[in-house]
Structure 1
Amino acid sequence: MKDCDETCLSRIDRFSFMSGRRSRMKWMDGHCDVLYKMWKSESPISFYECNESLDVTYPAAHSSGVGIQVFAVFVPPEVPRSQFLHAALKQVDLFHERILLHGKKVVPLLSREDLIRLKSSGRMGALLSLEGADPLQGDTAHLRLLYRLGMRQVGLTWNHANEVADGIEEERNGGLTRFGRSLVKEMKRLNMVLDVSHLSVRGFWEVIEEDLPVIASHSNCRAVCSHVRNLGDEQIRALIRREGLIGVTFVPKFVHDDPDQASIEGVLRHIDHICALGGEKCIAFGSDFDGIDQKVPGLEDTGALDGFREILLQRYPEPLVRRWTVENGFQFYFKHL
């Protein structure tokens, strides 16, 4: 893990996170499935045009002040195992060919220097994340390959078991396998971020003992909504102690026990609960846009984020809102990239 002392971190303070003279950056979204939806579509979908096919488009994100977007690479379980890596590479190729477009409007985030340059560039920063290590097919060489293609973050599992660990929906609740431990060791060496969303509870606690940056990119609070994908209070406290990120998500079934009753007020209850546990410095947002069909009213797509920010400002002090919508995420990745 890279060291980042107070002098290093103080460099962040040279940049204003307020919209205005230096930057329009208002938001970091820690998880979307644009690449999966593009890969799955039978016809090309443009990220740079407003369209009904994508929840996250560049025009809407730019209008809402999204300065950093994390793009997940997700290979669904119905894909034949022999095609896992191929499908992941197809999505990485879409990232380079249809999202980055030679850095004209969106630039890859590979290092803290990229984050510094991003602040005054007026462009959107894009971070590539693997959602579920299935495409690695039990080989750390595949991790290194994806790292060289721009991957900087890995979620070890989706909901089921793989070569690394059990997912959260596996009843046996298995932890890290032998390969899983070697993968975590290699992630440490490469200075990669580990995402525990979807990971089994036992796997979570085994990862917490490891010395590498940890986040839950799109998870809410089990005390507020009892879905198994949400985090228990002790897990939240552990992430707080580790100075990780908790991406409050807009997935209706993770917001309210009755997804049809999910609302923005329900999302705010998850924020309140994390704050009550002492986690205001860990809160971020992970929309899961383009990975969900049902939406929270008022949070249907990236274009709604500006309005949501105004709702946050009506309830919380502006410095806290700024911290949750962008500063916490920026500082976390500045420290660990």
Structure 2
Amino acid sequence: MNWLAMWTSRDSVKAAMAASFGVLMLTGMYNDDNSFSDDGYLETIRETMQQIDLIKLIINKFPDDLQLALSSREATEAFRRGKIASMIGIEGLHQIGNSFSVLRSYYDLGVRYATLTHNHNNAFADSACRPLAVSAILIIRRDRMIDLSHTSEATCLDVLGLTKAPENSGIIMITFVPEFVSSDPENSSYEHVLEHIMYVGKLIGYDHIGIGSDFDGIPKAVTGLEDVSMMPRLAAGLLEREVKESDVRKILGYNLLRVMEAVEAAADVGYAKDKDIPLDQVKPLWEDAFRRRISALYPNAQPIEFD
């Protein structure tokens, strides 16, 4: 059977994307001196906010093709409408500028998953989780997926010790980065990607594989998978290697949906009751003398306490 012809006849890109995500990952600038000072991250936060705004503008510009997905249910809804389910994530906690308030605000703006580190250290994680990372993970795990790309084995183990879902059903995202796919990057091709998928599938099962192409982060992907229009070729290649169509659909998106659903369920049932969620120390707006004056005028006023 000509699997490639079958998949490309289903309206090319939409056919493949109907079972996968249009993932949009933000990176931002780094603090190269490892000082992790608040002032050093102001530009990073500004750039992240601009990128979030740009993503939403693009989605609104092409409503027939794109749909913002804030949950697994909304992603499934987009698939059924023949649209690309567009999600927003941040790639490295340097993007929160050392602020738990910023991390929470990103969620309100649509960020649904976070990578702990990118290619530089931050105040929360590097070769292993820093103490502050525990606080950040407590926030992220409540309602977001945690991406462990770019992190060490020690960091991964720390995160697994703090999270509850999914227990043993996470996913490994297979990349299209030539240097990671083959020892001969210049000659890397989609065949190498297929070999990676087949190897992992035989090792731990196809229920634990997803696609992390990195299209938005590299100048060139492997030959034969240069952009999303080539995704039908990936699906066809797997089918030709006798991977079941149900497994191919899982790899292209449904495994990620399952993980997302598990995270959402855990947030609804357990994490919402957490009492150890950290807060920023917000700088007082008024000087002490003015505050004392107001306290005298309103002696019965009580400070607000957060659990």
Whole-Å Cα distance in 1 between the matches of residues 114 and 22 of structure 2? 15
Q: Does the 8 A contact of 2:165 with 2:262 survive in 1?
A: no
Are the structure 2 counterparts of residues 101 and 285 from structure 1 closer, same or farther at C-alpha, using a change threshold of 3 Å? same
- Identify the residue that residue 248 of structure 1 maps to in structure 2: 174
TM superposition shift of 1:197: 0.3
* C-alpha distance 159-60 of structure 1, shift in aligned 2 (>3 A): farther
Alignment of 1:193-272 (within 5 A): 193-213=145-165, 242-272=168-198
| TM-score (normalizing by structure 1) | 0.67
User: Which residues of structure 2 form unaligned runs of 5+?
Assistant: 1-5, 33-39, 265-307
Question: TM-score, length-normalised on structure 2?
Answer: 0.73
The alignment status of 1:293 with 2:219, answered yes or no, reads yes
Which position in structure 2 is the counterpart of 1:90? 50
Contact 2:179 2:185 in 1 (8 A): yes
**1:136 partner amino acid:** I
The verdict on how the C-alpha distance between 1:60 and 1:71 changes in structure 2, with shifts beyond 3 A counting, is farther
Partner of 1:124: 84
Identity of aligned residues (%): 27
Corresponding residue for residue 11 of structure 1:
none
Are residues 65 and 192 of structure 1, via their aligned partners in 2, closer, same or farther at CA, if it must alter by over 3 Å? closer
Structure 1 range deviating more: 113-122 or 125-134: 113-122
**Is this contact kept in 2: 1:193–1:213, CA < 8 A?**
no
Paired with 1:318 and 1:104, the residues of 2 have a C-alpha distance of 27
- How many correspondences in the alignment? 248
The letter for the 2-side match of 1:74 is T
| Alignment gaps of 5+ in structure 1 | 1-19, 27-58, 167-172, 215-240
Instruction: Give, in angstroms, the shift of residue 295 of structure 1.
Output: 2.4
Q: Deviations 1:281-310 (Å, cap 9, x if unpaired)?
A: 111111101311232110111111112211
CA–CA distance in structure 2, aligned partners of residues 76 and 259 of structure 1: 27
* Conserved? CA contact 2:194–2:234, under 8 Å: no
1:308 aligns to 2:234 (yes or no): yes
The 8 Å contact of residues 72 and 257 in structure 2, kept in 1 or not, is answered as: no
Residue 63 of structure 1, CA deviation: 5.9
> Is 1:278 the counterpart of 2:204 in the alignment?
yes
Q: Is the 8 A contact 2:141 2:263 kept in 1?
A: no
CA 1:308 to 1:277, structure 2 compared with 1: closer, same or farther past 3 Å?
A: closer
Q: Distance in 1 between matches of 2:13 and 2:248?
A: 18
Q: Structure 1 residue 111 and structure 2 residue 71: aligned?
A: yes
Shift of residue 125, structure 1, vs aligned partner: 1.0
Instruction: Give every structure 1 segment of 4 or more consecutive aligned residues whose post-TM-superposition deviation is greater than 4 Å.
Output: none
Task: State the Cα RMSD in Å.
Answer: 2.6
1:323 aligns with 2:250: yes
Return the alpha-carbon distance in structure 1 between the equivalents of residues 164 and 28 of structure 2. 25
Which is richer in helix? 2
Cα displacement (A) at 1:139: 1.0
Superposition deviation, residue 212 in structure 1: 4.4
